[in-house]
Amino acid sequence: MKLRSVGKLPAILICLLGLVTAGPVAAQKAAQPAQGTAQGTTQSGQKSTQPAQSAQTASQPAAGKATTPTEDNAQPGANDATPDVAAPAATTAEPAQTAPAPAQSAAQDDGAAPGQSQATEQLAKAGDELKRLTDLVSKAKDDDTALAELKVQVDALFKQIIGVSVSTRPRLDEIKARLTELGDPPAEGQPAEADIVSAERKRLVAERGAINALTGEAEGLSVQATKLSNAITATRRALFSNTLLKNTEVSTGMFDDALTATADETRVLSRSVGSWLSFAWNYKRVPLLTALFLSLLAALVFLSGSRRLFRPWIEHDITDEEPSYFRRLSVAFWSTLIPTIASAAFAISSFLFLRGFNVLRSDIAPIIAITLGVAVVVFFVTRLAQAVLSPRDARWRLVRVSDRGARMLMIAIFAMALVNGLDYLFGGVSEALGSPVVLTVVKSYIASIVIGLIIMASAWIKPTLRKDESFDGHGHAWPRVVSFALLATGALLIIAAVSGYVGLARFIATQIIITGAILVTMYIGILTGRAVAKQGAFAETAAGRYLERRYNLEQVALDQIGLAAGLSIYALVVLFFIPLILLQWGFQIADIESWAYRMVTEIKIGSITISLVGILAGVLFFALGYVVTRFVQRWIDGNIMARSRVDAGVRNSIRTGIGYTGVGLAGLIGLSAAGIDLSNLALVAGALSLGVGFGLQNIVSNFVSGLILLVERPFKVGDWIVSGTTEGFVKRISVRATEIETFQHQSIMMPNSLLINASVGNWTHRNKLGRSEIAVTVTYASEPRRIMELLSEIAAAHPMVLKNPSPSVGFTAFGDDRMTFELRIYVADVLTGGGVRNDLRVSIYERFRDEGIGEPFPVKIEDVPVEDQTGIESHEPEKVGEPKGATPAEDRVSAKATSSSKATASAAPLDEERVEEGSARRAASRRSNPNR
């Protein structure tokens, strides 16, 4: 086994904040021989000098895959043996050199198209690249980092090969179609075909053969790339397994060698650091002081600035006597995450300043990087323990433990983090100085035993409390399950280290500390997101109160913002912490980048490939199209049609049509951007047709009817329409139904198909000119011509009655007791006809009263028939003055509009003779029937 390259260690530590190689590196250092350092460095140097061609190959389009390479599955304890990668590489590289010959010769002999020649060149380059990658894999079979990067390049090359194969399919389909049109050559004995047809068939057959040769070559190269990718995966799995399960013989001689190596390493370290400080101070004093000043400035910006900026989120409020659980969760999560990110940014900036001013030497840079990384990790674990346990203030404690138990647990966690960090730091120093591996093994051995003892000692702490006990109580022991788990874990670490599996012990210890801290932080973050997304919770936060006060938001809007904030916290937790856990368990950055790329671009479900990036792009394009459509609608409606004084109904139709067109185009653009082939929508259209045939007839009918109404415009918004028993004003025309508001302000949603299939009356279709009729009844004692003159004068005197067409009066009917006249008038706006009719009724009443033509209502005189005289005297009040069969006064004095009914105004004078005659008739009836 070979150690990782020393030159790469600072970059790994800086990028991964000290968490990247804490476990795997320590395990490898404990199991690998001493002579592997130089060889690993040489291999890494060879790998770094190779020209990277993956950027060129990855840019080629990949429309599909013939096979799928096996993913990495680096789990500890795998029993797979390390395959011989060099042997299959040598065998698979030969076809890459010889296979292009048939395709190239066919292209040269038959005059291949430019696209075919380009495909041939690409396959030739892919074969050379595959051979180069195979050689690199055989040389880097002991370097996990190099193998991870090579696997990414092999997968990219596989996609390029498949893309070349797919690019030839359209031309092959064209050739097949053309050969079908030409048909088979004439059989023997049949007339010969034209020479031009024979020549074309021969050319097409030759080109088809060349394309088939290219396709075969591409398939062969893709198979080779797949095998190489699988071999890399198997090699990395075996490397990881062998590293963890490497057994080291523990003896007294090993400790004697370690003591000697420790003394030598101490002298070398002091000499190296002293010489570097002396050289930097004597010859690079100004760059050193500048780098230190900028580092202090970065500390001021990141650490102090984050504390000032996020103080309400990360500090405890001493005035809050009983903080809510949500408040405690939020403070614990952000007080861990924000300072850790700030400290990591400070560490990275400080290292970059020192390196940017060329102050660091090649042997000192890894030591500085390891020191900064270990400091960040220890700070993170300590900060998390303080946030969860809160040993100084029980009000902010997330777990119910006693004050003494919180302090003891805090000490134990800090001790384990410190021991693990020091072991990693000393191991990094040993690797940077080229110390023997036995020294690293002994350090890891001691660290594993110490951490195991600390875990076992934690089982004897009594931190738990009952519900009725206060935090300052003595506390009780752990539950038996927890105590047994702690004892078993500590014993497992000690047994593994004593048995010689030092790498496995250090790996487990690192995962307990680092992965455990990450998982606890994730859990707190998930609980915080859940608490924020809870209904009504966001309004109680400081941010919620600020938004409510600043923007006058309601509870519904605050709940929606809280839901979005909760989902954002979930996404932050997953995107930030999952990669850290994967890195802790032996995966490389190249693995995570490859998985992330495939996850957002190539999610395969059966034969369907889903691209999250494409879907997101489609959603963004649709949203952009929707916003542009709404802007165009408002601009045309408010700037063009409003200034042109276009009718409100026309404006609504144009605005609605633009909206449907824009949303439809935005949907098509979004689908195309999402990678959905619009030709596949034919299947969807067929399914919709089937659905229409079975159960969507009404929906489609209403939709089509709505489009017809918008285009044909038999009525528009604001029109007064009548359809059946529904009458009112049109408020809105949508694709399914039309909203009609009645005169009682009731909104009726009428399906569009009813308005298309039934008769619809529109009072304001072309213009608002309308005629109104007022029926007037008078007794036969009145003079008809005088009545007609009076009605004409009254109509002509009203200012809202049109002179052209002029009003008219008609003698319409003879009644039993009265005559009926009808006054017909025209108004410019039929919507004002009700008020005009009301004014005319009042004028008719007043004029008839002044002329002595009649009273407000006639008096009805009832005659009692002989057959109704039963001899029983009625106690009901007599109705005097109303003739038999007359309608009530409210019905007789009314005006009739063209919308629904005609009102009638009655002005009949009293007939005194008839009243006296009726009285005499009743008196005679009483005399003939005394009992009545």
Q: Which of 742, 815, 776, 797 is nearest to 903 (CA)?
A: 776
**What phi and psi, each to the nearest 5 degrees, are found at residue 460?**
-95, 0
Say what the pTM is: 0.57
Which range, of 444-453, 553-562, 668-677, 875-884, averages the lowest pLDDT?
A: 875-884
Examine the pLDDT at 846 and tell me if it is beyond 80: yes
- Position 113 scores a pLDDT of 60
How far is residue 837's CA from residue 833's CA, in Å, rounded to a whole number? 6
Examine the pLDDT at 359 and tell me if it is beyond 60: yes
Handedness of CA 165, 171, 174, 176 (dihedral sign): negative
State what percent of residues in the chain have pLDDT above 70.
76
Over range 547-575, report the average pLDDT: 90
Which band of pLDDT confidence, cut at 50, 70 and 90, is reported for residue 694?
low
DSSP conformation class of 832:
G
- Angle formed by the axes of helices 36-49 and 144-167, nearest 10°: 30
In 125-235, the DSSP E strands lie at none
- Position 680 scores a pLDDT of 65
CA atoms within 13 A on the CB side of 29: 31
Which band of pLDDT confidence, cut at 50, 70 and 90, is reported for residue 822?
very high
- Position 448 scores a pLDDT of 93
Examine the pLDDT at 384 and tell me if it is beyond 60: yes
DSSP conformation class of 3:
P
DSSP 366-383: HHHHHHHHHHHHHHHHHH
- Position 171 scores a pLDDT of 87
**What phi and psi, each to the nearest 5 degrees, are found at residue 738?**
-115, 130
pLDDT, mean over the chain: 78
DSSP 862-902: ----GGG--SPPP-SPP--SB-TTPPPHHHHSEEE-SSS-E
Hey, is 549 helix, strand or coil? helix
Residues 437-450: pLDDT tens digits?
888 889 999 999 99
Tell me the CA distances in angstroms from 349 to 330, 397, 463, one per residue in order. Answer: 28, 34, 40
Which range, of 61-65, 313-317, 351-355, 414-418, averages the lowest pLDDT?
A: 61-65
- Angle formed by the axes of helices 648-673 and 697-712, nearest 10°: 130
How far is residue 540's CA from residue 324's CA, in Å, rounded to a whole number? 10
- Angle formed by the axes of helices 100-110 and 86-98, nearest 10°: 10
- Position 421 scores a pLDDT of 94
How far is residue 519's CA from residue 526's CA, in Å, rounded to a whole number? 10
Hey, is 65 helix, strand or coil? coil
CA atoms within 13 A on the CB side of 68: 10
The tokens describing 685, both together, are: 């259209």
More confident residue, 746 or 59: 746
- Position 310 scores a pLDDT of 87
- Position 687 scores a pLDDT of 67
Which band of pLDDT confidence, cut at 50, 70 and 90, is reported for residue 117?
confident
Residues 471-491: pLDDT tens digits?
888 889 999 999 999 999 999
- Position 38 scores a pLDDT of 32
- Position 900 scores a pLDDT of 37
Examine the pLDDT at 409 and tell me if it is beyond 80: yes
State what percent of residues in the chain have pLDDT above 90.
32
- Position 597 scores a pLDDT of 80
